[in-house]
Chains A and B, each alone.
Chain A
Amino acid sequence: MAPSKFFHFFPVPSFLRMPAAGLSVNDEGVRFVHISDIDGAAKVESFGSADFPAGAVVNGEIRDEAAVANAFAALKKQYGLRFVRAAISDDAVYLFRLNLPLISESDVRSAIEFKLEENVPIPAGDAIFDYSIANRNDVLGTTEAVVAAVASKTSESYLDTMKSAGLSPLRLDLESQAIAHAVVPKAERGTVLVAHFAHTKTLLFLVQGGMVQFSFTLPVEERADPAGAQSPQKYQKLVLVREGIERIVNYWKDTMPLPAGESFSFKVIASGGEALDAEFVSKFASLAGQPVEVADPWQNVFDSNDAAPPIPKEDSFRYAAAIGVALANCPRLNFHV
């Protein structure tokens, strides 16, 4: 009997699966989406959001635990949340790529720990990190790992705040990685540059093999458009986005040198509310110097021909990170998280 047939007749008890809602927390507020997997088909059980008071979370750091806990508690009370998989702002997390000698997987953690302080401005003893093996090259004798590190006090403040609100976090991930799970097609194995345009920031990140390799946050409102003050406000950020893309490309070229004659190619995906503005996307494409695809945060959840997402498309981008991290709840959607 195939495993899918077996689990159709003998589903894993909910008590054991510990179904968790996807929760994204950033400076603006918290959003959650609870997706369940019913016989390999996704179903959105519930979704909701709560805004934080100004200054409650700054650059991904919780400054007002009581206010954040109240927002969590309000969602828990209204929607009956318990287990959650949370995504926190990339501002609070250091993400970098590390080249290591060819070592066994059991030794990778200690090797990263040894080199952690060379790459992040926090002592190894005060940092919590996790990693993914990006590549193991037997010929060159290298192991390439993508490492995410966060100050332990930051991780603990999220943990304590959620627990004080009665939530049980099962995972704490990056916002960019969660968005990538939602907006990058699950079959995509090439290099993708995602520009996620949020209200207060633009998040740029490079995804390869479904894994975020590097992310970069632009607080776009703080700078003016050097091309001219006549440009509408929302287009001003595109200039900085172009600079951000150049920085990412240069970083990637330095990190992953290509053989002579080969050029660095990648696909660009625009996400966020402004990605629905055709003129904005057109200008972004011209600045990026290549075609830009508009993301669909539900593409890895539903087949657009079979089901209509319960959240309108213009709002769905605000839930992109929550959707991405909620997909971990649905292993039978063939989404390896």
Chain B
Amino acid sequence: MFNLLPYKEKKAIGAEYMRRRLIIILLFSIATVILAGVFLIPSFIIAGYRLSEIKQTVAVLQANDAIKNQQTYKDAIAAANKKIATFGLSSTTEPLPELLEGIAAVKSDAITITSFNASRTGGTLALTVEGTAKDRESLLSFANLLKGSGVYGKVDLPISNFAKDENISFSLNVTTK
């Protein structure tokens, strides 16, 4: 068939058709988005409920952890306090490191210390120092130097430590003032 409309009019009809196509495409797109939204609403609601459940669960678990952590911290603090108490790191007593430094300061080369044992009884710290001495003179000299330092209240060197002349294994008890 022929179309004897003016060329300008044919173009206008073509443009009108294209405009209608675009409108249809746009409407279908909007309808698709709306339908997708409508169909996703139940999933959104369910997801919301799930999220709140999970949040509650997490809150409960976090509360339990906090309680556990609190207990752990308490235990850790208690252990630390015990150690502090053991080592005499209290403001009311002589610090243990100073006591040990005092022993090391008077020790001659003839004395070898192998171990320390510390124990607190009331406000008094008792140290047991074990080691070996080259001979009786050096051991006696070590004990006298400790007594003469003025840091320690009592320095007890049992007589049994002098049974041997040389390479004497000794055990010395020292208490703070």
Contacts and interface: CB of A to CB of B under 8 A. Distances in A.
Contact of A173 (B4, B9, B20, B24): B4
A224 to B, nearest CB: 35
A130 B6 contact: no
Interface string B86-123: 00000000000000000000000000000000000000
B5 interface: yes
B131 to A, nearest CB: 101
Interface residues of A, number: 30
Contacts of A156: 6
B24 A15 contact: yes
A150 B5 CA distance: 9
B: contact size bracket: 10 to 19
A316 interface: no
A14 B34 CA distance: 22
Nearest to A150: B4
Contacts of A170: 13
Contact of B3 (A16, A173, A181): A173
A177 B2 CA distance: 8
B85 interface: no
Contacts of B4: 88, 93, 128-130, 148-150, 155, 172-174
A130 B3 contact: yes
A172 B24 contact: no
A171 B5 contact: yes
Interface of A: 13, 15-16, 18, 88, 93, 128-132, 148-150, 152, 155-156, 159, 169-174, 177-178, 181, 325, 328, 337
Interface of B: 1-7, 9, 13, 16-17, 20-21, 23-24
9 contacts: A13-B24, A18-B17, A88-B4, A148-B2, A172-B2, A172-B3, A173-B1, A173-B2, A178-B1
